[in-house]
Amino acid sequence: MQLNNKNHILELKKPDIRELFFMAMGGLVLLFIIAPLAGMFINSSLGGLLDAAKDDVVQKSIWLTLWVSMAGTLILAFFAIPFSYLLARKNFPLKRLITGIVDLPIVIPHTAAGIAILGVISRNSVIGKLAKEIDFSFVGNPAGIMVAMAFVSLPFLINGAREGFASVPERLEKAALTLGATPIRVFFTISLPLAWRSVLSGLIMMWARGLSEFGAVIVIAYHPMVTPVLIFERFSSFGLKYARPVAALFIIVCLVIFIILRLLAENKNARS
């Protein structure tokens, strides 16, 4: 027994070195993320940031990026959230295949995704021709940008929401049914509120991922210019010095919004 105790203490002591080593590696990983970002802020002057913020083109592009990604997230959420519920609750044939399909946008190259989407919504496609009937074109239009953003970011919402629904005890839904609730009412009063934290987190992730999309968007629409495309354009036309303030400003705007959203979400959950 005592021998065991001794061994136990030895085992506890040994990892200290290991943990130190791991911490050092963790520090390097953090540095790897932080250093480029910090460097960018250090190298961009406050004046440059302010100039970028006052630049009409930059302002318009940031607004466009924010709202188009938001619109895409909300529209797809209407379809994706009920679908996530099905994925979490039901077993059906080919379920593994379907969950695999959901993850496809994450694993394929985004420019390739852009080409694929273009094939569906270009002026020559069926959808494109239908759109032309009402004098509308996806290409070069915020609607096209929205489709591209939503395509590549949708898995974040579906996977987040699915995990949320899976963690709601089925028994609560059964209890609600026996208390006289219709299945649709059970979904809105029990399943969705209890999974809300994960669903919201999925929504935020989807939006965030949509905002930052470059590859798929540039294939569909160079204009109107979303901020990632604008940053690229400034960089390729004028160089690093001109691209940097826009990039820094965009990062600041995104960070502020996400921090606020996260805090709001946490507060809401803390209260309930």
Check residue 108 and give left, alpha or beta (phi > 0: left; psi -120 to 50: alpha). beta
Shortest Å, Cβ 157 to other proteins:
21
Q: Where does this chain touch other proteins (CB under 8 A) — which range of 61-69, 122-130, 170-178, 211-219? A: 170-178
Site for other proteins in 33-62 (CB under 8 A): none
Using CB under 8 A, which of 67, 169, 223, 240 touches other proteins? 169
Which amino acid does the sequence have at 176?
Answer: A
Nearer residue to other proteins within complex by CB, 39 or 193:
193
Which amino acid does the sequence have at 160?
Answer: G
Shortest Å, Cβ 11 to other proteins:
37
CA distance 174 to 80: 23
Residue 228 near residue 214 (C-beta atoms within 8 A):
yes
- Site size for other proteins (CB under 8 A): 18
Each residue 172-211 as x (binds other proteins by CB under 8 A) or -, in order, gives x-xxxxxxxxx--x---xx--xx-----------------
Residue 84 near residue 162 (C-beta atoms within 8 A):
yes
Site for other proteins in 105-164 (CB under 8 A): none
Q: Where does this chain touch other proteins (CB under 8 A) — which range of 125-133, 149-157, 158-166, 171-179? A: 171-179
CA distance 230 to 224: 9
Nearer residue to other proteins within complex by CB, 60 or 89:
89
What is the DSSP secondary-structure string of 166-198?
HTS-HHHHHHHHHTT--HHHHIIIIIHHHHHHH
C-alpha 197, offset from chain centre: 15
Q: Which residues bind other proteins (CB under 8 A)?
A: 169, 171-172, 174-182, 185, 189-190, 193-194, 272
